[in-house]
């Protein structure tokens, strides 16, 4: 064994399978090592393993061989005594299925093994102690989720140092299937809530367009994430990610007694239950926030700004954000002025533009608020940002995410819609928020005057949001074409 190595992480030909060389400090008494050092190892790219169980395998004699088992959890393996020859085979669905990697492991080396990669080893010394940290509790019921492959399969071409006919194997390990007969382990699924909403539909469209599998889309009728009783009916261990695209968004109705309760249930209680589930089952939770968590007193808002919501909707969204932040693996994407499939501001302006342009319609002018400024968020862009953060394993936390480009008022956006629709933009008349709601018969929620969000943080991850004006042009063109087809 080599002492005083530098802590180092090496990637292998199997995605996610990492070799970790670590310093071992020896003296006349023996040696000492930090077998798991979260801060140092995660800084070098080792995933932040949520350890819940430590297993130890004692191998009495040289030649004991075990494997190959692909388990439904991640693990971090090493040797506490002796040395092993380790072999790993990728049994996950995908292009690297069947890929093999081997290396020797003693106390100065560890291997991070992701879910679905089969693990096997051969003890190279008497009394070898093999240790592994795992992020899920073992149970007999979960063994049905294992995938196995035969360690003697010629297709794997594993060069075991000690011929297998001279080794000690279990009867079960001798009869595992050949690689050609193995059913690949599917990835953990992604649960999308609020599937019938604007963002939920966009996530579904993105998954379909990119050939992504393993997504399950639910709406309130199938899974009410604000109902504590609904959680017990789901096998959460089969999921890896939750994308919460559901929310209560009727900002004015939220000011009523009934709306207030509904907003807090969907926007605060629901996310808190999702966050608790994510903590308990080590899931990644993606949640969408709103510019309404701020009072709009600043011209531009970044992720570090303290909450200052003006109305019930914003207050309930802020509470939900705080709850989601309690999940160790979370992404909160803060948006503003969301536009997607379904009823929204752009669709309403397009319909009004058609009426103003119709000689047979008496409508000649449209009044739109001119003292609220921000940028539109198109849901296809938001869906792309969600997938980018997940795919690149970006640091967990809050990310502002809207369209890029210059800010504009609702009035200015309405004029652009009219222009793109071939209508007279001068038919749009600017008014103040107080003028617009002067004759409202029901409660009116206070709105932030400034909703522009700072995109610096998400851009640093490598994602470049589309200019909202380009997205608007494409959106209006598509919507007009669809209306003509109908």
> For every residue of the chain, which 3-state class applies, written as one string?
CCCCCCCEEEECCCCCCEEEECCEEEECCEEEECCCCHHHHHHCCCCCCCCCEEEEEEECCCCEEEEEEECCCCEEEEEEECCEEEEEEECECCCCCCCEEEEEECCCEEEEECCCEEEEEEECCCCEEEEEEECCCCCCHHHHHCEECCCCCCCCCCCCCCCHHHCECCHHHHCCCCHHHCCCECCCEEEEECCCCHHHHHHHHHHHHCCCCCEEECCCCCCCCCCHHHHHHCCHHHEEEEEECCCCCCCCHHHCHHHHHHHHHHHHHHHHHHHHHHHHHCCEEEEEEEHHHCCCCCCCECCCCCCCCCCHHHHHHHHHHHHHCCCCCEEEEEECCEECCCCCHHHHHHHHHHHHHCCCCCCCCEEEECCCEECCEEHHHHHHHHHHHHHHCCCCEEEECCCECCCEEHHHHHHHHHHHCCCCHHHEEEECHHHHCCCCCCCCCCCCCECCECCHHHHHCCCCCCEHHHHHHHHHHHHHHHHHHC
Torsion of CA 148, 150, 154, 159, to 10 degrees: 100
| Contact between residue 270 and residue 246 where contact means Cβ atoms under 8 Å apart | yes
* Contact residues for 128 (Cβ-Cβ < 8 A; gap 6+): 58, 59, 62, 64, 79, 81, 82, 83, 84
CA atoms within 13 A on the CB side of 408: 23
The residues facing 55 across adjacent strands are 132
d(CA 434, CA 83): 76
Catalytic residue status for 388: no
Structure tokens of 369?
């608020």
pLDDT digits (tens, 9 = 90+) for 436-462: 999 999 999 999 999 999 999 999 999
CA distances from 203 to 45, 95, 240, 244, 380 (A): 28, 24, 16, 11, 7
d(CA 116, CA 480): 47
Specify the pLDDT at position 137. 87
d(CA 21, CA 38): 14
CB atoms within 10 A of CB 105: 22
Specify the pLDDT at position 486. 54
| Contact between residue 462 and residue 392 where contact means Cβ atoms under 8 Å apart | yes
d(CA 376, CA 335): 9
pLDDT digits (tens, 9 = 90+) for 34-92: 999 999 999 999 998 889 999 999 999 999 999 999 999 999 999 999 999 999 999 99
* Contact residues for 427 (Cβ-Cβ < 8 A; gap 6+): 353, 356, 364, 365, 366, 418
* Contact residues for 151 (Cβ-Cβ < 8 A; gap 6+): 65, 67, 68, 87, 120, 158, 160, 164, 169, 173, 176
Q: Which of 112, 130, 132, 475 is flagged as catalytic? A: 132
| Contact between residue 129 and residue 57 where contact means Cβ atoms under 8 Å apart | yes
Q: Name the stretches of the chain with pLDDT < 50.
A: none
d(CA 388, CA 394): 8
Specify the pLDDT at position 145. 87
pLDDT digits (tens, 9 = 90+) for 271-328: 999 999 999 988 999 999 999 999 999 999 999 999 999 999 999 999 999 999 999 9
Say what the pTM is.
Answer: 0.81
**What are the chain's domains?**
8-181 (2.60.120.10), 189-485 (3.40.50.720)
Mean of all residue pLDDT scores within the chain: 95
| Contact between residue 240 and residue 250 where contact means Cβ atoms under 8 Å apart | no
Q: Which of 69, 176, 301, 330 is flagged as catalytic? A: 69
Catalytic residue status for 132: yes
């Amino acid at each position: 064994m080599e002492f005083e190595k530098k802590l180092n992480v090496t990637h292998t030909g199997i995605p996610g399978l990492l070799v970790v060389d670590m310093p071992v400090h020896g003296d006349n008494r023996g040696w000492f090592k930090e077998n798991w050092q979260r801060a140092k190892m995660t800084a070098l790219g080792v995933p932040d393993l949520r350890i819940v169980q430590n297993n130890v395998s004692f191998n009495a004699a040289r030649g004991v061989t075990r494997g190959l088992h692909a388990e439904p959890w991640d693990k971090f393996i090493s040797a506490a005594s002796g040395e092993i020859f380790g072999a790993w085979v990728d049994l996950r669905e995908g292009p690297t299925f069947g890929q093999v990697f081997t290396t020797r492991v003693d106390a100065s080396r560890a291997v991070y093994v992701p879910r679905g990669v089969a693990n096997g080893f051969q003890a190279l010394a008497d009394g070898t102690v093999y240790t592994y940290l795992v992020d899920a509790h073992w149970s007999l019921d979960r063994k049905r989720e294992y995938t196995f492959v035969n360690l003697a399969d010629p297709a794997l071409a594993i060069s075991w140092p000690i011929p297998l006919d001279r080794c000690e194997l279990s009867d079960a390990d001798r009869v595992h299937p050949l690689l050609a007969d193995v059913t690949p382990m599917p990835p953990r699924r992604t649960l999308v809530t609020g599937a019938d909403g604007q963002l939920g539909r966009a996530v579904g469209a993105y998954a379909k367009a990119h050939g992504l599998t393993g997504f399950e889309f639910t709406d309130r009728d199938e899974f009410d994430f604000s109902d504590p009783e609904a959680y017990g009916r789901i096998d959460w261990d089969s999921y890896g990610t939750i994308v919460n695209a559901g929310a209560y968004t009727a900002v004015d109705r939220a000011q009523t007694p009934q709306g207030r309760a509904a907003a807090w249930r969907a926007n605060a209680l629901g996310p808190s239950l999702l966050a608790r589930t994510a903590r308990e089952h080590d899931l990644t939770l993606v949640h969408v926030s709103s510019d309404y968590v701020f009072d709009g007193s600043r011209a531009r808002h970044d992720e570090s700004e303290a909450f200052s919501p003006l109305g019930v909707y914003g207050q309930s969204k802020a509470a939900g954000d705080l709850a989601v932040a309690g999940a160790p693996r979370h992404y909160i994407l803060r948006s503003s002025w969301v536009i997607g499939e379904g009823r929204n501001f752009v669709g309403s302006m397009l319909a009004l533009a058609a009426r103003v342009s119709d000689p047979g319609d008496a409508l000649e002018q449209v009044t739109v608020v001119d003292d609220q400024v921000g940028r539109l968020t198109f849901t296809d862009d938001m869906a792309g940002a969600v997938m980018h953060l997940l795919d690149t394993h970006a640091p967990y936390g809050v990310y502002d995410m809207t369209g890029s480009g210059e800010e504009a008022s609702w009035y200015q956006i309405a004029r652009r819609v009219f222009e793109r629709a071939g209508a007279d933009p001068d038919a749009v008349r600017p008014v103040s928020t107080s003028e617009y709601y002067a004759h409202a018969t029901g409660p009116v929620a206070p709105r932030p005057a400034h909703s522009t969000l700072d995109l610096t943080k998400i851009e640093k991850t490598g994602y470049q949001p589309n200019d909202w004006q380009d997205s608007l042009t494409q959106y209006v063109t598509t919507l007009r074409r669809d209306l003509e087809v109908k």
